[in-house]
Chain A
Amino acid sequence: MAEHITITVNGVDRSLDVEPRRLLVQAIRDDLGLTGTHIGCDTSQCGACTVHVDGMAVKSCSMLAVQADGRSVTTIEAMNAGGKLHPIQAAFWEKHGLQCGFCTPGMIMAAADLLARDDDPSDDEIRHAIEGNICRCTGYQNIVLAIREAAAVMRAGSSAPAAPAAKA
C-alpha cells in the first residue's frame, strides 16, 4: 500500500515509496537522511521541523509526504549551497543566535521565509514571524538580533553592484 511519489528536494528529484500516513518530516529525515530538520513535538507547536515547500515555510510534521508529491522542498542542508553560509546562517553565528542548536534549522527556515516577504522587518514583526518556532535556550533575544542583522546584510547585498571578478 506504499504510494510512489517524487519530490524535488534541495533541487534534486527524489523518488520514494511511502506509506500514506508517513509525515513529510519522516520522509525527509528517515527516507532521505536529511537529519538537519528536527522533530521537537507532536502537536505542530515547536517549529523545529520547518522547511520550505514551494518557497513557503511549512512545518513538515503538519503535512503528509504524499502531499508533497510533485512539489519542491528546501531544507536547512541547502541553505549553504556551494559551501558559503547563507547570510541568515552567518548572522545566527555572528550574533550567538543559537545555543543547543536543536531549534536552529527550523528557526533559520522561518527567518528565510520572513525575509523573502519583507526585507526590513521591525523587531515586532520578527518576533511575530517566529512565534511558531519555540526556542528554550536563547530567550529569543539574539535570534531577533540575528534576523535583524541578516536582513541588513541581505539588503546591502541586493543593492550592491556585482562583485568584481577576482584579480589574476
Chain B
Amino acid sequence: MTTDVLGTSVKRVEDQRLITGKGRYLDDISMPGMTHLAILRSPYANANIKSIDTSAAKTMPGVVAVFVGADIPYNPLPMAWPAGGSAGIQNNINMPRTLATDSVKWTGEGVAAVVAETPEQANDALEAIRVEWEKLPTVVDVEKAIADGAPQLHENAPNNIVFEWNVGDKAGTDAAIDGAEVVVRQRIVNQRLIPNPMETRGDIGWYNPGTDEYTVWMSSQTPHIQRLLLTAFVTGIPEHKVRTISPDIGGAFGTKIFCYADMALCMFASKAIGGRPVKWVETRRENYQSTIHGRDHVTYLEIAGTKDGEVTGLRVKTLANLGGRLSTIGPGIPTTLYARVLSGCYKIPNVYAEVTGVYTNTTFVDAYRGAGRPEATYVIERAMDLFADEIGMDPAAVRRKNFIESDKFPYENPSGLGTASGGAKIYIDSGDYEPALNKALTTSGYYEMGKAKAEAKKRGKLLGVGLSTYIEVCGVAPSKWIGAVGEGWGAAMWESSNIRVHLTGKVVVTMGTQPQGQGHETTYAQIISHELGIPMEDIVIQHSDTQGTPFGYGSYGSRTASVGGTAAVLAAGKVREKARRYAAHMLEASVDDIEVDGANYQVKGSPDKVKTFQEISFAIGLGFSLPEGMEPYLDETVYHDTPNCTWPFGTHVAIVEIDEETGRTELVRYVAVDDVGNKINPMIVDGQLHGGIVQGVGQALWEGAIYGEDGQLQSGTMLDYALPRASWLPMLELDETVTPSPVNPLGVKGVGEAGAIASTAAVANAVVDALSPLGIRHLDMPYTAQTVWRAIQSAKGGQA
C-alpha cells in the first residue's frame, strides 16, 4: 500500500534542483542568436516628450535596433478591474503604453529601447539617446494631489481623481456614529511599499518567422492571462499564435500578476529584428521604478460604540494612491479587496466606506501580498485598539465582545461582501474566533504583561504588546460573483486540472495555477497520491506553459490550494471513476461491485479478484478490449469554479521593546495562532506563515518607499530601502486551530497572504502600547528609531 501523504510534511520535490544551482529562472535561459534589450527610462516624474534623437545610438557597437513609442502600433495596456466593475462607476482610466509616446507620469516610465548583441552594449547605447523634455510640476502625495491648484496629470481626470467609490450603509452608519456614546477618530497612513521578490522581472520574446508564431518567456504568476491580455487587448496578434511560458519564479508576492509594457516590447522587438530572441532582465533599480508598488493609503477612520465595549459603527474615508498611470487591476485593490472586508471578524452593524483613487507622479500601485486586506486589517485592528483605549477596556476583551459568534456562519458582513447584484453573494464561510484568541493570549503570557513591562522599564525599555485578530478573504473566487455587476475584473476565477495517465500507470498532472516558490509540485502531488493511491514518485506536476496546460488564472489571492487543489481532487475523482468502470470490465463484474482501496480495484467480497491502477492504465491505454462506448486512456480534465471564497483567521500577538533613549524598536516575541483549515503540508504552511509575517513586520518596523516632492524615488535601491534581515528577528512561535472550510472537499482555506495580513497591525499595536504611558495613542509606520525617538521627545515636550 502507498502511504497516505496528504496532510503530512513531506519534503519538497522542487528542492533538489533549487539547492544544487540547477533551477531555471528567466535570466538563466540562453538561446542561439539571442539579443539583449535595455529600456531608457524617464528621469523626470512629470514631463512632455518634445523629441527623441536615436541616431547616435543606432551607430553604437553591437546595436541591432533602437525603438521609440511611435514605432510601436500596439494599444495601451489593458485595465482589467475598474473600481465598481461594470456598475457604472466613473473610472478615469489612463494606462501605460509599450513605450511612452507623448508624456511620462513617473520616474522610470519607459521611453525608448535598444536591442544589442550584449546587455552591456544595449546599456551603453541608452546613454547616446537624446530626449528633449518639457518638465512639468509634480505631485506625489494623495492629499496634495486632490487639493485645489495641484498639477493635473491627465486631461480626463479632474483633480487627479481616478474614481470615487463607496460601499455600505451611509445613512445607518451616520446615524450610528451621531448617536454613539463613544466615537474615536484617527488619521492613519498605510505607507507605500516596494515588494522586492528576490528575482526581478524579465521577458524573452521570440518571433518565429517560419511559423508566424511567438513564444514569450516571462517571470509571471499568470502566463495564461498574459497571453490573453497581450493578444486580445495589446498587440492584436491572434491568441493561438502566442505561447507564454513562466520558468522557475524567484518570488513574486503579487508583482508578477500583471501585464507589463516590457512583455509587449520584447514581442515587438523580436519580430522587428527578423526573429532573433530578445531578452530583457530588469535591474533591481528598474524593479523599484517599473514594477508595481503596494499599499499607500491615507485613511480617516471613525469608530463608534458603547462605553461597555460594543462597537456600533465604523466609517472610513480612504485616499488610495494609484501612481502616474494604472496597473492592470490597480483600482480593484482598494475597493473590493479592501473596503468590503473593513469590518474584519467583528459583528459591526453599521459600516460605510468611501474610497477615492488618486493619480500622483509615482510608480503604479497594485496587488502586493494581501492586496487590500492588510490595509483593511490595519484599519480595523488599529481602530479596535483606539476604541479600547478610549473606554479604558482591555483590547482583548473588546475584541472578544465583538467577535462574530461561531454559530453565525455562513455570515454576511455589512461592509457589503454579500451585496453584489445578480444574486451572486459571497459570505464568510466559517469561523470560530475565540479559541485562537485564547491560545494566543495564553502562549504569549498576555495577562502577565504588567510584570514584564515593569521589568523592562528597569532596563530603560518600554515594552508593548499588540494584538491582531484578523480574518482574510481568499481562495478567490466564484466566477459568478467576480462577473457580477459592480464586482471584479473582466475575467473569471475558476481553475483547471488535467490528468494524463500513461500506459505504465505514471501520471502527469497539468495545472492552470503558477507557483512562485510555494511548492505546488509537492502539494498537488500529495493530493493526487492520496486520491489515486499511487506513490508521489509516480506523479509529476506540470504548469507554467500555455502549450500543454489547460487555461488557468494563475496563483495569487491565496487561491491555489482551495480552487486549484479542488480541481485536482475532482479530476482525480473522474480518473478513479473511469478506472473503476474499466476494472469492472476486466474483472467481469458489475461496476457497483468494484471497491477502490488505494490503487487496488477489487470485487466486493472477492479479495483475489483485483486489478491495480497500473494494470488498469496499461489495459485501457492499449485498448485491445474496451466496453462499448468507452474511449482508451484514463485521461480527464476538470474546470472547477468555487462556490465561495475561504476565510482564514487567527490571533497574532507581537511583543516589542523600545529603547527609551534611542527610539530603537526591537521585536522580542511573536506568537501567531492561525486557522487556515486543513493543511495539505504543514511544513509548507508554516513556511508561508513565516515569510508572510516577516513581510508584515517589515512594513511596521522598517520598510517604506520615499519620494521627493519632485517625484524622484529616494529609496531607489536596496541600499535605501530597509528589507528585513535575519539578525533583526526573533524565532516566531506558531500554533493553530483547525476549522475546516466547508467550501471545498479538502477543507483548506489558503495561507499565502495570512501572515502579511495579520502581522503589521499586531506590531503597530504593540509599538503604540509601548508608547502609551507617554500619552501617545497613534503613530504612523514605519517605526524607525528616528520616528519613534521623535514621538517620544515630542510627547515629553522636547524639541524634536
Contact = CB atoms under 8 A, between A and B. Distances in A.
Contacts of B248: 100-101
A92 B517 contact: no
A67 B200 CA distance: 27
A139 B23 CA distance: 21
B31 to A, nearest CB: 13
B717 A98 contact: no
Contact of A136 (B11, B19, B251): B251
Interface in B700-753: 717-719, 723-727, 729, 731-732
A99 B691 contact: yes
Contact of B20 (A29, A37, A79): A79
Given A34-B21, A104-B18, A136 B723 contact: yes
A147 to B, nearest CB: 10
A92 B15 contact: yes
A93 B11 contact: yes
Contacts of A94: 11
Contacts of B692: 139
Nearest to A137: B691
Contact of A103 (B22, B24, B198): B198
Given A105-B21, A140-B694, A140-B726, A45 B719 contact: yes
B354 interface: no
B14 interface: yes
A123 B198 contact: no
Contacts of A142: 686-687, 690
Interface string B683-695: 1101110111111
Contacts of A79: 20-21
A104 to B, nearest CB: 6
Contacts of A101: 14-15, 17-19, 23, 248, 250, 517
Interface in A1-54: 19, 21, 29, 33-43, 45-46, 48
Given A104-B19, A131-B725, A42 B283 contact: yes
B598 interface: no
Contacts of A93: 11-12, 15-16, 19
A99 B519 contact: yes
B755 to A, nearest CB: 8
B790 interface: no
Interface string B659-700: 000000000000000000000000110111011111100000
Contacts of A77: 20-21
A97 to B, nearest CB: 9
B15 A100 contact: no
B349 interface: no
Contacts of B15: 92-93, 98, 101
Interface in B220-252: 248-251
A60 interface: no
B717 A136 contact: no
A125 B27 CA distance: 33
B187 interface: no
A79 B22 CA distance: 12
A89 B731 CA distance: 22
Interface residues of B, number: 57
Interface size class of A (residues with CB under 8 A): 35 or more
A151 interface: no
A130 B724 CA distance: 12
A96 interface: yes
B691 A131 contact: no
A73 interface: no
B517 A137 contact: yes
Contact of A139 (B19, B22, B693, B718): B693
Interface in A116-152: 123-124, 126-128, 130-131, 133-144
A21 B124 CA distance: 13
Contacts of B731: 123, 141, 144
Contacts of B727: 124, 127-128, 131
A67 B457 CA distance: 52
A98 B20 CA distance: 12
Contacts of A40: 198-200, 250, 284
Interface string A74-104: 0111011000010001001110101111111
Contacts of A139: 690-695, 724, 729, 732
**4 tightest A-B contacts by CB?**
A36-B21, A100-B517, A101-B18, A102-B250
Interface of A: 19, 21, 29, 33-43, 45-46, 48, 75-77, 79-80, 85, 89, 92-94, 96, 98-105, 108, 123-124, 126-128, 130-131, 133-144
30 contacts: A29-B27, A34-B21, A36-B23, A38-B27, A38-B199, A40-B200, A42-B717, A45-B717, A96-B686, A100-B516, A100-B517, A101-B19, A101-B248, A102-B251, A104-B18, A108-B19, A123-B731, A124-B727, A126-B726, A127-B726, A127-B727, A134-B718, A136-B196, A136-B198, A138-B687, A139-B695, A140-B724, A141-B731, A142-B686, A142-B687
Given A127-B726, A139-B694, 17 more contacts: A33-B30, A34-B21, A35-B25, A39-B27, A40-B250, A43-B284, A85-B19, A98-B19, A100-B197, A101-B250, A131-B725, A134-B725, A135-B198, A136-B198, A139-B732, A141-B690, A141-B731
Interface of B: 11-12, 14-25, 27-28, 30, 120, 196-200, 248-251, 253, 283-285, 516-519, 683-684, 686-688, 690-695, 717-719, 723-727, 729, 731-732
